């Protein structure tokens, strides 16, 4: 009898393969992979027990030969099973961008099937893509100062199928499947590889960052020189000035940032 179907092994040589009749190393590695994939401990134990019995009955001396590479086999055993993490066939990508570039990149990568699920504690966009059935997504950003405004904005946009997908400070992000406007054409047949970048900074942001760094350096140098040449009695006035100036400067910068964000929204 010829073998009409072979397992999905790539090679008969492997560090966990060919480990003898019990396949101990193989099953230890398989159990580790199943746990890592989110399979509950009891299911891991019964799965390994069942496979151990299979191998014994088949009188096979090599678990690797029988089941294939443990990574591939484990993936096929958890396929479709729901877990805490992203399902098999789903990719997750966390990244961030400044407020001048966020919508551009969200829409760019939304067109590649990345769906934003929310913002993590670090303010990064947490995006997910289903490699089996990816759809295009589009995004928009709105401004709201409090929970009441957020609810009001969300209610207005819900009429056009926009769904809130996260907020950070006073920025609200909304997503919508492109199928809502493009129909079946929103489906993606081919996927671009997941980006390996996690940070996107616009030239506007870089310019402002340079200005801020330059201003900080000049202020610092002037402060040091003044204290150095005018004596220690200038230290206290400088500290008082810093305590007063810092919140004022911060508030002005905050308002200006918000003003720019609102204007950009209207543009």
Partner 1 sequence: MAADRRSSWLKGVLDLLVLACLTEGESYGYEISKALAAAGLGEIKGGTLYPVLNRLEEAGLAVGEFRAAERGPGRRYYQLTDQGRRALVEQSASWLEFHTAVRTTLNSAQPGGTS
* 8 A C-beta contact, residue 52 and residue 93: no
Q: How far is the CB of 8 from partner 1 (least distance, A)?
A: 5
Q: Of the two residues 87 and 195, which places its CB atom closer to partner 1 in the complex? A: 87
* Distance (Å, whole) CA 52 – CA 63: 9
Q: Of the two residues 41 and 79, which places its CB atom closer to partner 1 in the complex? A: 79
* Distance (Å, whole) CA 102 – CA 93: 15
- The rounded Cα 77 to chain-centroid distance in angstroms is 25
Q: How far is the CB of 110 from partner 1 (least distance, A)?
A: 29
* 8 A C-beta contact, residue 26 and residue 17: yes
> Quick one: angle between helices 24-36 and 41-57, nearest 10?
150
Q: Of the two residues 68 and 113, which places its CB atom closer to partner 1 in the complex? A: 68
Q: Of the two residues 52 and 204, which places its CB atom closer to partner 1 in the complex? A: 52
Residues that bind partner 1 (CB under 8 A): 1-9, 46-47, 49-58, 65-68, 72-73, 76-81
The SS3 call for residue 164 is strand
CB neighbours of 226 closer than 8 A, spacing ≥ 6?
234, 238
Q: How far is the CB of 99 from partner 1 (least distance, A)?
A: 43
Go through the chain and tell me how many residues it has.
Answer: 267
Q: How far is the CB of 69 from partner 1 (least distance, A)?
A: 9
Q: Of the two residues 3 and 132, which places its CB atom closer to partner 1 in the complex? A: 3
The SS3 call for residue 115 is strand
DSSP notation for 161-185: T-EEEEEETTEEEEEEETHHHHGGG
The SS3 call for residue 18 is coil
Give 218: exposed, middle or buried? Use CB within 10 Å, 0-12, 13-18, 19+: exposed
Q: Of the two residues 87 and 118, which places its CB atom closer to partner 1 in the complex? A: 87
Q: How far is the CB of 62 from partner 1 (least distance, A)?
A: 11
Q: How far is the CB of 7 from partner 1 (least distance, A)?
A: 3
Q: Of the two residues 79 and 160, which places its CB atom closer to partner 1 in the complex? A: 79
* Distance (Å, whole) CA 18 – CA 11: 11
Q: How far is the CB of 124 from partner 1 (least distance, A)?
A: 32
């Amino acid at each position: 009898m010829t073998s009409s179907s072979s397992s999905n092994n790539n090679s008969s040589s492997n560090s966990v393969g060919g480990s003898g009749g019990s396949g101990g190393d193989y099953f230890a590695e398989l159990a580790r992979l199943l746990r890592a994939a989110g399979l509950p401990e009891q299911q891991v134990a019964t799965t390994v027990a069942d496979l151990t019995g299979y191998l014994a009955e088949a009188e096979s001396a090599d678990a690797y030969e029988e089941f294939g590479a443990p990574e591939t086999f484990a993936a096929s055993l958890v396929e479709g099973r729901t877990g805490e993490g992203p399902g098999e066939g789903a990719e997750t990508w966390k990244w961030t961008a400044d407020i001048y570039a966020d919508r551009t990149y969200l829409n760019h990568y939304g067109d590649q099937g990345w769906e934003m699920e929310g913002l993590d504690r670090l303010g990064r966009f947490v995006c997910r893509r289903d490699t089996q059935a990816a759809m295009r997504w589009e995004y928009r950003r709105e401004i709201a100062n409090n929970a009441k405004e957020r609810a009001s904005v969300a209610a207005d946009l819900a009429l056009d199928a926009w769904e809130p997908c996260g907020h950070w400070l006073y920025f609200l992000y909304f997503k919508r499947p492109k199928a809502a406007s493009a129909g079946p054409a929103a489906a993606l047949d081919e996927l671009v590889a997941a980006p390996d970048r996690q940070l996107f900074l616009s030239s506007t942001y870089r310019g402002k960052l340079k200005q801020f760094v330059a201003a900080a350096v000049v202020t610092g140098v002037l402060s040091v020189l003044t204290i150095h040449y005018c004596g220690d009695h200038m230290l206290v006035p400088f500290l008082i000035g810093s305590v007063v100036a810092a919140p004022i400067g911060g508030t002005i910068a905050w308002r200006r940032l918000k003003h720019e964000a609102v204007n950009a929204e209207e543009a």
